[in-house]
Amino acid sequence: MNLKNLTKKLAKQLFEYKPEESYDFSINNNKDNKNQSIQLADNTVKYEKDRKNQTIYTSLTINKENIQSIFNTLINSDIIIRDFILNARGKQYSAFLLYIDGMVNVNAINDFVLESLMLRNKANTYDGKEERIIHETTTNNITVRKIKKFDLSEYIYNSLIPENSVKKCTKFEDIISGVNSGNCALFIDTINIAFDIDVKGFNQRSIEAPNNEVIIKGSQESFVENIRTNTSQIRRVINNENLIIENLTVGEISKTKCAICYMQNITNEDLVSEVKFRINNLSIDTLLSSGQLEQLIEDNSRFGIPQILSTERPDKCAKHLMQGRVVVLVNGTPYGLIMPATFVDYMSSPEDTNIKPIFSNFLKLLRFIALIITLLLPGGYVAITSFHQEILPTELLFSILAARQYVPFPIIVEIVTMELSFELIREAGLRVPSPVGPTIGIVGALILGEAAVNANIVSPILIIVVAITAISSFAIPDYSFSFHVRIYRFFFIVLGFMAGFLGLGFGIFAYILIMCSLKSFGVPYTVPYVPSSSTRGHGYLVSPIWKQDTRADYLGPKKEKSQDKISMKWKYENK
């Protein structure tokens, strides 16, 4: 009876149909509504322009509502509106202060703005509605006085704000640009002027140069652990009010702050909602780093291939935000997560748009060759020497034979040993104390390698193969991506040993299949080649910057056009 039940249970487990638990999300890029969305985008632009050109109202409530809608303060977490009562000449006026948290020097606001406006002092207790008499004449018992009426804005400007740089603004546009750059804005009831006060105080560099993503010709700033500093770095680069930075907390115990950044007028809404949905639906106790978050929200973690870009450069995040991607920052980690990410993104470096396309395309081709070498050279070497020696030129073959004459191990043992030793050296190098670091490098690489060859443990040709593989693996820009390639090359070594080019072919086929099956937040990994979409400006090879006039359509952006067709008007339209 028991056995029967057990067999039944086993058969059920093996053969029962379970509906596939595949999580299928794709970005809705409805091309039929394209005209509609272009019109909508144009309307939005016009509406925004009109709104910004408005002059400041006398009613504080209307001003406040306008500001709240422009800055989306309900969802934008770092826009602060501080309401208070202003004392001036014995009268009290409602007012509010508008600033961006993290960009302002809080002490300056406290000491030189709020204190002087809110607290009682000699200047603002001046009594009465006294007007200043400029000139007085009496003619025929009629006194004619020329008086200067009390002007609140003048009074505040001249007497109540002891700050070095204060501007009076009448248009919302000026106020907004000031606030975006780190100033604070003072709005007061009954006057149609707002004050733009310079209190910039965002945290500058203890921000260091990036360690792992070094480029020659770009910015040398990287993220730090404080999330507010990181968001301010991104804000400074983007410099636009449509950048939304939403706050979320993840982790029931740690309540780690995460920030989701996106451009409201560019990024596809489905994408943003999907990111928020995934992050909000994590029931974990603690979230300690962006690496953990990456593993928790990526689509498919079976194969070890990364689907979310991880970067420590704010300029890289800004560039991707402008293309319509979403950036997630985690408090406590100097790495931002960019999603969605495709194969082309992992092989790009931030330098690619800073230098001329011919140089960056050369480097990109080099990186692709490096990828192939890292993946296939050791496996290919084993396959060729085990099964396909006729490919080798005769002299090279005999050199290999001569070099291997006294080596006791078969090729597979040699190559696996050397590859593993190299990985050991690489791992040990991370933990070596810095005074000893270079010495270990010399010991490990030169002496071990040379000593091993002289002792006839390995052949010199193998050292060259392993060295070239190692150097190529360093040429891949992204750390996680190069890591997965390093792991996969061991599979290729085993396959090459097993069945030569048939095994290698099987491995290559399986690898391509895996790449094609991956999706990163609804975007297929191998886009824009398969499934084919326009590669204008978004293909593997970089096109000149004046040709990159549309955003990638696989991201479904709201604003497809990023440049005019002729962007260099100085060159072409004056003719």
Partner 1 sequence: MNSIKLGNFEAIAIIVTITITHSILTLPKSIMVPVDSAALLNLIYVSILALFLSIIIYKLLNNFPGLDIIDISEFLGGKILQRIVGLLFLIYVLFVSSVLLRTFAHCLKIVYYPMTDLIFILAIFAVSIPISCTLSSETIFKANLIIIPVVLLGIVFLFIANTKYFNFENIYPLFGNGINATFIKGASNIFAFGGITVLYLLPPILKDKMQFKKVSILSTVLSSIYFILTIATILFMFSSVSFTNELMPLYSSVRYIEFGTFFQRLDSVFLLTWILAFFCYLGISFRFCTSIYKKITNIKSNKIISYPLTLLVLGLSLLPKDESITSFLEGTVYRYIFLIFSIGISLLILVLAYLKKKAKTIKE
Partner 2 sequence: MKKFLHSILITFILIVNLYAFSASYTYDNIDNLAYVVAIGIDTSKSNNLKISFQFTDTSAYSNDSSSGSKGTIINTVEAQSLESSVNILNSYIGKNVNLAHCKVIVFSEEIAKAGLSNYIYSLINNSQIRPTSNIVISKCEAKYYLENSISESEKLITKYYDVFPNSSDYTGYISYVTLGDFFNQITDKTRSPVAILGGVNAKTSDINSGSEDASSILASKSTVVGERGTENLGLAVFKEDKLVGELTALESLCHSIIDNEANTFLISIANPRNSENTIDLSASEYKKTSINVDVSNGSPYINIDVYLNAEIMSIDTNTDYLDEAYLNEVATSANNFLASQISKYLYKTSTDFKSCINDFDKYASIHFLTNNDWENYDWVSSYEDAFFNVNVYTSVNSSMLLTES
What residues line the site for partner 1 (CB under 8 A)?
17, 19-20, 22, 384, 387-388, 390-391, 393-394, 499-506, 508-510, 512-517, 524, 526, 529-532
DSSP-derived pairing of the beta strands 336-339 and 523-524: unpaired
Query: Measured from the CB atom, is 199 or 375 closer to partner 1?
Result: 375
Minimum distance of partner 1 from residue 435's CB (angstroms): 47
Interior angle at CA 433, CA 431 and CA 439, nearest 5: 100
- Give whichever of 17 and 570 is closer to partner 1, judged by the CB atom: 17
Element of type H or E holding 145: strand 142-148
- Is 62 a binding residue for partner 2 by CB under 8 A? The answer is no
Q: Please report how close the Cβ of residue 542 comes to partner 1 at its closest, in angstroms.
A: 21
- The residues with which 561 forms a beta bridge, in sequence order, are 550
Minimum CB distance to partner 2 smaller for 324 or for 378:
378
Nearest to 207 by CA among 243, 231, 241, 180: 231
Which one, 109 or 411, has the nearer CB to partner 2? 411
> Minimum CB separation from partner 2 for residue 331, in Å?
36
Angle (nearest 5°) at CA 254 between 222 and 107: 55
CB of 394 to partner 1, least distance (A): 8
Give, as one character, the DSSP assignment of residue 549. Answer: -
Q: Give yes or no for residue 489 binding partner 2 (CB under 8 A).
A: no
Nearer to partner 1, 284 or 510 (CB): 510
What's the closest the beta carbon of residue 263 comes to partner 1, in angstroms? 29
Contact 200, 104 (CB under 8 A): yes
399 binds, among partner 1, partner 2, none (CB under 5 to 8 A by kind): partner 2
Distance CA 58, CA 243 (A): 28
Q: Rounded to an integer, what distance in angstroms lies between the CA atom of residue 353 and that of residue 542?
A: 8
Residue type, 123: A
Q: How far apart are CA 60 and CA 191, in angstroms?
A: 8
Select from partner 1, partner 2, none the partner in contact with residue 402, using the beta carbon and a kind-dependent cut-off of 5 to 8 Å: partner 2
- Shortest Å, Cβ 454 to partner 2: 13
Report the candidate in 37, 534, 77, 548 with the shortest Cα–Cα distance to residue 268: 37
Nearer to partner 2, 355 or 499 (CB): 499
| 150 vs 491 by CB, closer to partner 1 | 491
Residue 358 engages partner 2 in binding (rule: CB under 8 A): no
Q: How far apart are CA 66 and CA 98, in angstroms?
A: 12
499 contributes a contact to partner 2 by CB under 8 A: yes
Task: Give the Cα separation of 182 and 427 in Å (integer).
Answer: 43
**How far, in Å, CA of 540 to CA of 27, rounded?**
21
Nearest approach, Cβ of residue 450 and partner 2 (Å): 15
User: Least distance (Å) from partner 2 to the CB of residue 395?
Assistant: 6
Give me the least distance between CB of 556 and partner 1, in Å please.
Answer: 16
Q: Closest CB to partner 1 among 321 and 375?
A: 375
CA atoms lying within 13 Å on the CB side of residue 83: 8
Q: Which does 531 bind (CB under 5 to 8 A by kind): partner 2, partner 1, none?
A: partner 1
Is 427 a binding residue for partner 2 by CB under 8 A? The answer is no
**Nearest to partner 1 of 296, 508 (CB atom):** 508
Of 116, 82, 114, the C-alpha closest to 98 is 82
Which of 84/529 has CB closer to partner 1?
529
CB of 37 to partner 1, least distance (A): 21
411 binds, among partner 2, partner 1, none (CB under 5 to 8 A by kind): partner 2
**Nearest-approach distance from CB 10 to partner 2, in angstroms:** 8
Rg of the chain in Å (alpha carbons): 32
405 binds, among partner 2, partner 1, none (CB under 5 to 8 A by kind): partner 2
Give the SS3 label for residue 249: strand
Nearer to partner 1, 264 or 533 (CB): 533
Structural element, H or E, at residue 218: none
Per CB under 8 A, does 402 bind partner 2? yes
Contact between 525 and partner 2 by CB under 8 A: the answer reads: no
Please list every residue from 12 through 31 that binds partner 2, using CB under 8 A.
13-14
Residue 99 near residue 178, CB atoms below 8 Å: no
Q: Which long-range contacts (CB under 8 A, 24 or more apart) does 500-509 make?
A: 500/383, 500/386, 500/387, 500/388, 501/383, 501/387, 501/388, 503/383, 504/376, 504/379, 504/380, 504/383, 507/379, 508/376
HEC string for 384-415: HHHCCHHHCCHHHHHHHHHHCCCCCCCHHHHH
Nearer to partner 1, 311 or 520 (CB): 520
Residue 457 lies near partner 2 (rule: CB under 8 A): no
The answer to whether 401 contacts partner 2 (rule: CB under 8 A) is yes
Among partner 2, partner 1, none, the one that 50 touches (CB under a kind-dependent 5 to 8 A) is none
Residue 136 DSSP SS3: strand
Which partner from the list partner 2, partner 1, none does 166 bind, CB cut-off 5 to 8 Å by kind? none
Contacts with partner 2 by CB under 8 A lie at 10, 13-14, 385-387, 389-390, 394-395, 397-405, 410-411, 494, 497-500, 503
